[in-house]
Structure 1
Amino acid sequence: MTKTPKRTNRPEAVKTDLLDAAARILTERGIQAFTLDLVARDAGVSKGGLLHHFANKKALLDGLFMREMETFKNDILSSIQKDPVEAGRAARAYIGLDRMENEDEGTPAILRHLLAVMLLEPQLCSEWTRYYWETIRSTGLFDNMTPSLLLSCLAADGLAIWDILGADIIDKKNREQLQLLIEKLTNSSSTEK
């Protein structure tokens, strides 16, 4: 007599698998190909199992956005702690200067794709924008920023929006120069009053 393996109840692991699959599909195929069936199949879960954790596509995207925002927040806080230069460290952490070499994978790439979804979905845009700024404000990041540091953050956000929109407005050399200028702004802020 063969024993049927006992199914282990691992709801958090299944939820993580679903969110990982959602991130993969979103970054590799885009929102147009993003379906609950595809996410369930990629995660090795039945569609009913997916619906047990996420009632619909919006709930799944919300879960992914919130997870990635938590990771983004933790990355910012970690960057602040690692940066030995106090002046401008919050701006450098927000911009992700220490993460630039990996910006096409992980949380930065997923957040870019999720921000693209926001452009298509007005309800998500409103909800996620509020959640985004609540998360960023909870770090105290912008509490004492000088105008130069705020400008560097806004410029970096602008470049990210251009990436989301696929706007190849500036060539690689000019982009690198802009990134160096943004970094320079974060380093020169200690002399600003």
Structure 2
Amino acid sequence: MSIAHHRRKQPELVRQQLLEVAARLSLELGASGVTLDAVSQAAGVSKGGLLHHFPNKMALLDGLFDDLTGKLDRTIAEEMRNDPVAHGRFTRAYLACVFALQDETDTQGWQVLTIALLSEPQLRARWRLWVADHADEFVGTDSSVGCLLARFAADGLWLADILKSHDVDQQTRQAMRTQLVALSLQ
């Protein structure tokens, strides 16, 4: 008799495990290597269990998007609560998140999602909406050219980190961050 019937079900843990496995497989094998069969097998979850959470590959990518942007929103909100200066507060919080991505456990997920954003129109539309919603929400405090330039520069660093196209030492990264924070105050 299988012990699966006696095992306590933890759907959120299973869902998170599936997202992490999909991210890992995507980095190891490329987006084409992320099949529902490969994810379920690598995660040790039945295909039915996977389909319960994600009925198709796009749903899996959407789930990864929701998970990562939810974490990003919570981290930005926390950073903003700790910043007493209203002007540029969102931009500085965004900078903190981007500069921390190098050390975060979610780096792998962001790498996968960023690559998927380049090839999946549905995900690009969702990211564009996320950016527009935040730009609208913080239009009074973060719409200066300095704030916009700082966020664009941070996006460039993010992409360079994901592509591993530039070796930027910590001292240079810190100098870059200091200058971008200064831009957010203009």
Q: Is the 8 A contact 1:73 1:135 kept in 2?
A: no
* Superposition CA RMSD, Å: 3.0
Q: Is the 8 A contact 2:36 2:57 kept in 1?
A: yes
Q: Is 61-70 or 18-27 further displaced after alignment? A: 18-27
TM-score scaled to structure 2, two decimals? 0.78
1:162/1:142 CA distance change after superposition, 3 Å: farther
TM-score scaled to structure 1, two decimals? 0.75
Letter in 2 for 1:141: F
Deviations 1:152-188 (A, max 9, x none): 11111122223334433x75465554333212223xx
Per the alignment, residue 105 of structure 1 pairs with 104
Letter in 2 for 1:144: T
Per the alignment, residue 6 of structure 1 pairs with 6
Per the alignment, residue 153 of structure 2 pairs with 155
Q: Secondary structure at the match of 1:15?
A: helix
Offset, 1:93: 0.3
Offset, 1:40: 1.3
Offset, 1:3: 8.7
Q: Is 79-88 or 148-157 further displaced after alignment? A: 79-88
Deviations 1:20-79 (A, max 9, x none): 322343455543432322321232201221112211111101111111111101110011
1:13/1:165 CA distance change after superposition, 3 Å: closer
Deviations 1:93-131 (A, max 9, x none): 01126x735524333542232111121233432x33244
Q: Secondary structure at the match of 1:106?
A: coil
CA distance in 2 between counterparts of 1:13 and 1:118 reads 25
Mapping of residues 39-54 of structure 1, within 5 Å? 39-54=39-54
Structure 1: state its 5+ residue gaps.
none
Per the alignment, residue 162 of structure 2 pairs with 164
Per the alignment, residue 138 of structure 2 pairs with 141
CA distance in 2 between counterparts of 1:102 and 1:165 reads 13
CA distance in 2 between counterparts of 1:135 and 1:70 reads 14
Q: Is 78-87 or 174-183 further displaced after alignment? A: 174-183
Alignment: residue pair count: 183
Letter in 2 for 1:71: K
Mapping of residues 12-161 of structure 1, within 5 Å? 12-27=12-27, 30-96=30-96, 100-125=99-124, 127-133=125-131, 136-137=134-135, 140-145=137-142, 146-161=144-159
Q: Secondary structure at the match of 1:83?
A: coil
Letter in 1 for 2:79: S
Q: Is 153-162 or 62-71 further displaced after alignment? A: 153-162
Per the alignment, residue 181 of structure 2 pairs with 183
1:122/1:14 CA distance change after superposition, 3 Å: same
Structure 2: state its 5+ residue gaps.
none
1:14/1:94 CA distance change after superposition, 3 Å: same
1:3/1:42 CA distance change after superposition, 3 Å: closer
